[in-house]
Amino acid sequence: MRLHTLHLQAFGPFAGRHTVDFDALSTDGLFLLHGDTGAGKSTLFAAICFALYGKPPGDRNLLLRSDHASADLLTQVTLEITLAGKRLRIIRTPAQQRPKKTGDGTTLQKAETLLSEYVVNNHGTGRWEPSTRSHQEAAAEIIELLGMSREQFCQVVLLPQNEFTQFLRADAADRKTLLGKLFHTHRFTAIEEWLTRRKNSVERTRDEARSQVLRLAERIQQAAGDELEPAQGVPTAADPTTLTDHARTWATALHTAAQARQQQTAQNLTAAELERTAFRDKELAVRDLATRQDAHRTAEQQLAQLQEQKDQQEQLQQQRERALRAQKLAPVLHAADTAHSQHTRAQEDEDTARTLLAPEHSNLDAPQLTHAGRRLRADLGALRALLPDEATIRQLTGELAKLDEERTLRAEDLNDANAWLEQAPQRRTELTTRLEQARRAETDDRELATTLTTLATRLDAAHRRDASLRQVTDAEQKLDTAKATTQEAARTHIDIRRQRTDGMAAELATQLTDGEACPVCGSPTHPAPAAPHPDQPTAADEQAAEKHHAQAQQTQQDLQHTLQELLTQAATARGEAGGDASTSDLETEHDTLTQRRKETLARAADAGPASEQLDALDREHEEKTRIRDEASTYLAGANANYDRLDTQRQELDQRLAAARADAPTLTDRITQLTRTADHLDAAGEKAAATLRTAQEHQHTTDTATQAAHAAGFDSLHEAQDALLTDDELTALEDTINQWREQRAALTARLTDPELQAAAAEPPADLDTATEEHQAATTRHTRAATTADQAASRTTTLADLITQLDAHIQRLKPLENDYQTVHHLHGLINGMSPSNKLRMQLEAYVLAARLEQVVEAANTRLVRMSDHRYTLAHSDDRAARGARSGLGLKVTDAWTGRARDTDTLSGGESFFASLSLALGLADVVTAESGGQALDTLFIDEGFGTLDEDTLHHVLDVLDSLRAHDRTVGVISHVPELRRRITHRLHVRKDTTGSTLTQLTQAAE
């Protein structure tokens, strides 16, 4: 990799366009970048990294866009470089905001990349040919040609500021992380991770198999029960060796014991079955005797109860005989009852009918009632002849009422129409006025809307103007304070620098040693060295003052930039607001116009309703005129017709008044007379029926009385009381017969020989026999349950042992697999006793790379340390169990002893770590494909070296030129400016940093 030119514009602290000619700087193979702190020296390397990879270094939070650049200058980096024999030009433009080409404001400028290659044709003419504009394609080609990622490039091409000793003094873990990134040894870590996952997977599977065996052992132990003592020799998780063959032996022994127990319980069940059968037969015999004794005792008791009912049965027999004699008289008794009921009902009907008669008819007999009814029906004929005249009167009355109602409605319509037509002209005038006012309001609203829009724009601008002016005042106060702070910091910095310059002799005197030459005069004696002043400032004080001054300047520049933006915003807003008009006046005017427009809109909104109401008024005027004319015509004819019909109705009403009598209408009079005639006819019929039923009742009563005397009854009432219905007589006979049958049956049962024999024996003891049978049954049930449990346990144990054998066969190979993978995992992870150095696999691979790095580093370190120090790789075991394999020691040739790298002084640590970094760059370059890194940057650290060591270090850097390498040194050390011919000076200013290429001849 060789750099040619770097073009910057608006990048970082560089506001304008700048070019770095690396070909000119690399003439001697060594060049210096120097300048004030914060000027942008490290930004040049960030620009190179951005050009190559599209991103600045990963540990830099760099703002690509320059705050000092003009808005129309895009941020852009152009790098010309030779990679793997190809000369390339890379142009990178990051995403940023730029002014719009038309109009105000900004727009987003997308990120752009252009990769071109310089080619020479057959005639020797060269030109740039574009290769790609794709970010991804350009990055892939550069990484392929360079052979390094962005992280590797930043690590080996730029030795970072204040990080020289990071790798030198890092512990094994941090050193492993850095080397792993540089040498891509993550694949070995992947092997470790895979083996860890494999171990965990096998362990989980093995543990699952163990758990299954343990669960089966628990189930076997539960199935065996305490009787077989399964806890003796049970497999446990604490001793995994008991989970295979031992578990099988233990389970088999339990199954054998269970089989023996099953045979014993089967024998006990047979004996219990015989005992239960004997006691069951005994209980049945005792139960039969008790049943026969109960039957004999029950029959004696029931027969005694029947004998007690003998007198009652004789009374029932006499009742049966009287009922049979009365049953023969049933027809005449029934006829007498029927005649009595009919006569009573006829009397009640006659009384009810007479209550409906008029007082003058209430005492008439049956013939007289019939004659009066016939006379009334003759009068009804004459009245019915007059019914058509009454119908005519009703018709005329309805027509007159309807006609009068219609005349009233038409009169109301006529009055309403006349009243409306009288008010119509005034309403038309009102609506016409409203319509004209609404149309004028529409015109006014359009004018107010335009005025309000303009006023709202001015009001918004006035608010922004006032806010900007308040911010301007605050910014001016802050800027005044910042200017005072900057001036004070500048005076302090100048005073400290002047005091330190004045006391430089005393500062040099502190470094003098008797017998050694003075760096100023060369004398080995120092008779009167200058004494330091008590308040003499140090170099650190000067650097702190310079840093404070730079920070104050940066703060002042930021505030000036902010103030300028605020002034621009205020001026723009003032122009849009129309000058310095107060915000309150504009708001008042805006509120007034808004209220006026609201009122105007309310008036304008009335245009539609007013127009619609005017059209409706015209339509309604036509309708009202038509109604008035029709009502007038109708009323003239209706009045004449009403007078004619009313005269006709009065004539008919006079004719019917005598016929109606006191009734409202003739129909009502006919209805009254018809109802009276009907009542007379009904009362005559009921009176005749009463006479007829009285005669029938007397005749049947006399006949029934004679028959009762003949049948042996003293009276008709006695015969009626003895009479029973068929159902009652049947029930009485059934009661008598049932008593007789029960007595005969009980008498016969007591003569049964079996019952008589049972009664002669002692009372049966059924409770004792039942208790003996139940006890035998309980013993049989218990024996059967025990036998079933023993058989079930034997079967369950056999099934579980079969399952246990299957899981043991699965567990055995898993135990072997786990032992193997566990051993391998511990071995490559440094945890196994077999790995005596406790070195991980990746550390083992990186240890070889570290040896190469140390070997390459010692070629420079020996020269830089004047053959005193060499580095050595150490794979000794670390303390307290830490990982080993990536240790570093430094061997001191003066003492012959190796010691830790953190015992080196600051200057020694610098050149040791510089040597290590150079060696690391060589090995990484070779590892990445052998692409030569022709340019190397070293950032600071030279200030810690004494003069002789600085000469040795520069000699080593000079030697890099022999290998066609260019080294760029970034430093503040003045000695380097005298030693290095070609320099790039970076200056900072309030308007942005600038670049100047210098040589000693030019200077």
What is the mean predicted confidence (pLDDT) over 184-198? 75
Q: Calculate what percentage of the chain has a pLDDT beyond 70.
A: 85
* Alpha-helical runs (H) found in 56-185: 135-146, 150-157, 166-169, 172-183
Type of residue at 218: E
Task: Give one DSSP letter per residue of 308-365, joined into a string.
Answer: TTHHHHHHHHHHHHHHHHHHHTHHHHHHHHHHHHHHHHHHHHHHHHHTTS-GGGTT--
Would you place residue 941 in the very low, low, confident or very high pLDDT band (cuts 50, 70, 90)? low
Q: What would the pLDDT profile of 954-967 be if each residue is shown by its tens digit?
A: 666 666 555 556 77
Lowest pLDDT segment from 2-6, 156-160, 335-339, 630-634: 156-160
* Closest listed residue to residue 436, CA positions, set 614, 617, 597: 614
Neighbours of 660 (CB within 10 A): 18
Per residue in 211-243, pLDDT tens?
A: 887 888 888 878 887 777 777 778 887 777 777
At residue 91, the pLDDT reads 94
Q: Can you read off the two tokens belonging to residue 340?
A: 């009595």
Contacts of 257 (CB under 8 A, 6+ apart): 224, 228
Residue type, 547: K
Question: How high is the pLDDT of residue 516?
Answer: 67
Query: Could you write out the DSSP letters of every residue in 496-545?
Result: HHHHHHHTHHHHHHTT--TTS--TTT--S--SSPPPPPTT---HHHHHHH
Report which DSSP code applies to 186. H
Query: Of the segments 85-89, 281-285, 323-327, 379-383, which one has the largest average pLDDT value?
Result: 85-89
Q: Which residue has the tokens 């000794």?
A: 876
**Digit-coded pLDDT (tens) for 762-791:** 888 888 888 888 888 888 888 888 888 888
Predicted local confidence at residue 503, as pLDDT: 61
Q: How far is CA 521 from CA 119, 461, 508, 516, 529, in A?
A: 59, 73, 12, 11, 12
Q: Which two tokens stand for residue 685?
A: 């019929």
pLDDT value of residue 1001:
41
Average pLDDT over residues 877-887: 54
Query: How large is the average pLDDT for residues 168-187?
Result: 68
Q: Give whole-number Cα distances, 1003 to 198, 978, 983, 989, in Å.
A: 69, 11, 10, 21
Task: Give the mean pLDDT of 25-45.
Answer: 80
Confidence category of residue 882, pLDDT binned at 50, 70, 90: very low
- Span 107-134, average pLDDT: 87
pLDDT in tens, 452-506: 888 888 888 888 888 888 888 888 888 888 888 888 887 887 777 667 665 655 5
Two structure tokens written together for 374: 């016939």
Residue 508 pLDDT grade (very low, low, confident, very high; cuts 50, 70, 90): low
Does the pLDDT value for residue 607 go beyond 70?
yes
Beta bridge partners of 938: 159, 969
Q: Does residue 880 or residue 26 have the better pLDDT?
A: 26
Of 588-602, 904-918, 924-938, the least confident: 924-938
- Reported as a pLDDT band with limits 50, 70 and 90, residue 1002 is very low
Look at the pTM and tell me if it is higher than 0.85: no
Q: How far apart are CA 965 and CA 1, in angstroms?
A: 10
Of 7, 9, 8, 6, the residue nearest 98 (C-alpha): 9
* 8 Å CB contact between 607 and 438: yes
Structure tokens belonging to residue 492: 């302090």
Per-residue pLDDT, averaged over 128-151, amounts to 84
Measured CA to CA, the distance from residue 703 to residue 891 in angstroms comes to 167
| CB of 14 closer than 8 Å to CB of 993 | yes
Alpha carbon of residue 915 to chain centroid: 59
As to burial, measured by CB atoms within 10 angstroms (0-12 exposed, 13-18 middle, 19+ buried), residue 909 is buried
**pLDDT at position 135, please?**
84
Q: How confident is the model at residue 836 (pLDDT cuts 50, 70, 90)?
A: low
Please say whether the beta carbons of 971 and 940 come within 8 A: yes
Residues 753-763 pLDDT 10s: 887 787 888 88
Segment 11-25 shows an average pLDDT of 88
Ranges assigned E (strand) in 744-820: none
Which one, of 954, 941, 872, 955, lies nearest residue 908 by Cα? 941
What's the mean per-residue pLDDT of the chain? 78
Does 879 score more than 50 pLDDT? Answer: no
Tell me which of 529 and 243 has the higher pLDDT.
243
User: Looking at residue 813, what is its pLDDT?
Assistant: 85
Tell me which range, 499-508, 802-811, 932-941, 974-983, is most confidently predicted by mean pLDDT.
Answer: 802-811
For 876, which DSSP code?
P
Tell me what pLDDT residue 1003 has: 44
| C-alpha dist (Å) from residue 530 to 415, 502, 507, 519, 888 | 135, 11, 8, 14, 44
Average pLDDT over residues 252-257: 84
What average pLDDT does this structure show over 372-381?
A: 76
29 to 55, 539, 702, 973: CA distances (angstroms): 27, 31, 172, 19
Share of the chain above pLDDT 90, in %: 3
State yes or no: pLDDT of 76 exceeds 90: yes
Residue 92 has pLDDT above 90, yes or no: yes
pLDDT of residue 738: 84
Q: Classify residue 523 as exposed, middle or buried by CB count within 10 Å of its CB (0-12, 13-18, 19+).
A: exposed
Quick one: pLDDT at residue 930?
47
Average pLDDT in the 838-846 region? 68
- Torsion, Cα 497 501 503 509, to 10 degrees, reads 130
Q: Per-residue pLDDT for 512 more than 80?
A: no
Average pLDDT over residues 168-190: 68
Determine the pLDDT at residue 611. Answer: 82
Distance between CA atoms of residues 161 and 158, nearest Å = 9
